[in-house]
Amino acid sequence: MGTLTMKFGGASVGTTTALSQVLSIIIHESKRWDKVLIVASALEGVTDMLLEAAQLAQLSNQRGYRRIVATLRTRHMALIEQLPLGNTERTTLQADVDRLLFDMLDQCQMVANNLNDELSPKVSDSIVAVGERLSARIIAALLRQNDLRGIAVDGTDILMTDDVHGNAMPDLQLTATRVNDILLPMLNRDIIPVVTGYIGATVNGATTTLGRGGTDYTASVLSALIEADELWIWTDVDGMMSSDPREIPEAHVIKELNYNEVAELAYFGAKILHSRMIVPLQERSLPLRIKNVFKPQETGTRVSHDEQDTPPSIKAVTSIQGLALSRAVSGSTAGIVKMVGNTLFKTLGMRSEVMISSQSSNSSFLCLVIPTSIGIDGVDRLQHAIQEKMSEYPEKMPWDIQTISIVTAIGNKLNHSPAIMGKVLEQLQNIEVYGLAMGPSNCSISVAISTEDTHRALESIHQLTIKSG
């Protein structure tokens, strides 16, 4: 039946119950498909713990990072003890866990012994990579115990990237060579490779990471390069939702989306998918499905090319943090855009993207999207870094900066229906709108508003969403 790639997220590999589901899904699909490739995330919450350990090491807090390593060991060992494994598989797996965590502890110790002003992203990448390495080995051991030829494959041996640590970009040409040399021979021999998501390596062998949610990106790139027939993303929700159900209890599953719509959803705050993962799939017309690991019988959300005969409609609404820069002067914004871009890249290893830019006779306004991949404290760190940089040139940088929310209505063919934009604005009565933009893909309408108004805006715009099938 062809080739299937399945990516399993942290919530789907974090417990014995979830891993039992993962195992049954892989067993079932391996009988239906000729070849199966697995891409694994770290256990839920592990990456955050590893990042914290790296930061504690940078502060020379030995007790702190040793405590985290001990907690990680206890959690993984307890999971292994509860899994239906034979003595040989269990013993080998436990030895792997100890070796990987010992190496990570050694890296933390080196950081603590060589204090710098800031934690190097290169060192941080090397430390956090252990999470996926642990989970991939656990899944592969489970497969072997059940007569499937599972082999854990380190992403650093397959996924070649640039050297932007913390937010690396895959080099498709170099990665294709590794895929042809390593992955395809395994698949052709009925082996199920379990590849670590999120991590890759430079040509010099330095470990890199792809940013938050980067396991999706790994799965997307590898699916494209092995010419898979489909990619399935397994998570703990029923599919892509019309809004975050934690914010909007009435949110519902969207049965069908096109590539542009799902890319906008990911870019503007839907945390299920990595925003950069869509392009490799779209270029090869490779269908994507998002499914609930605990409800494998449900169809979830299917992503493919646009349906030509569907009328314009709003399908979802999202929110994401942004930074707004304003000044009571009109004129060129090139200087501030360059400064913000350089500061963002230096601070977080990312490029800035101005989403809204507007000017009047006596004022200027810029709005920047802050990707969810920067982490929990990323916005505060960035705002502080920009303010520090602006303080060096007070005469040239008379800009006020504040954190805002960007609320985005997402649907299809919105450029064909100006009335829909009118309806979106009607839903924002008594909410101050700083800026408004329609995305160039013609499937998003975004408004920049105060963070205090976020929930009210989401709730109001969500009333315009339609339920499909």
- DSSP assigned state of 409: E
Range with the lowest mean pLDDT among 228-237, 253-262, 265-274, 330-339? 330-339
Q: Rounded to an integer, what distance in angstroms lies between the CA atom of residue 291 and that of residue 372?
A: 21
What are the structure tokens assigned to 19, written together?
A: 């891993």
In terms of Cα–Cα distance, which of 171, 167, 178 is closest to 209?
A: 167
In terms of Cα–Cα distance, which of 338, 342, 318, 309 is closest to 416?
A: 309
Give me the residue spans of the domains in the chain. 3-236, 314-462
pLDDT in tens, 262-274: 999 988 888 788 8
For the cut 70, the answer to whether the pLDDT of residue 377 exceeds it is: no
DSSP for 209-230 reads: E--TTHHHHHHHHHHHHTT-SE
Give this prediction's pTM.
Answer: 0.89
Same CATH topology for 3-236 and 314-462: the answer is no
Structure-model confidence comparison of residues 148 and 10, the more confident one: 148
In terms of Cα–Cα distance, which of 336, 389, 394 is closest to 367?
A: 336
pLDDT in tens, 277-320: 999 999 999 999 999 999 999 999 999 986 667 788 899 999 98
3-236 classified as CATH 3.40.1160.10: yes
In terms of Cα–Cα distance, which of 217, 219, 152 is closest to 182?
A: 152
Q: What percent of the chain has pLDDT over 90?
A: 65
Is the Cβ–Cβ distance between 202 and 159 less than 8 Å? no
Q: Which CATH architecture has domain 314-462?
A: 2-Layer Sandwich (3.30)
Give me the count of residues in the chain: 469
- Average predicted confidence (pLDDT) for the chain: 90
Structure-model confidence comparison of residues 328 and 423, the more confident one: 423
Q: Looking at residue 84, what is its pLDDT?
A: 93
Q: Is the dihedral of CA 13, 18, 22, 25 positive or negative?
A: negative
pLDDT in tens, 171-182: 999 999 999 999
What are the structure tokens assigned to 1, written together?
A: 């039946």
**One-letter amino acid identity for 359?**
Q
Q: Looking at residue 395, what is its pLDDT?
A: 67
pLDDT in tens, 50-65: 999 998 998 999 999 9
Q: In terms of DSSP H, where are the helices of 270-333?
A: 278-283
Mean pLDDT of 230-255: 94
φ, ψ of residue 75 in degrees (nearest 5): -65, -45
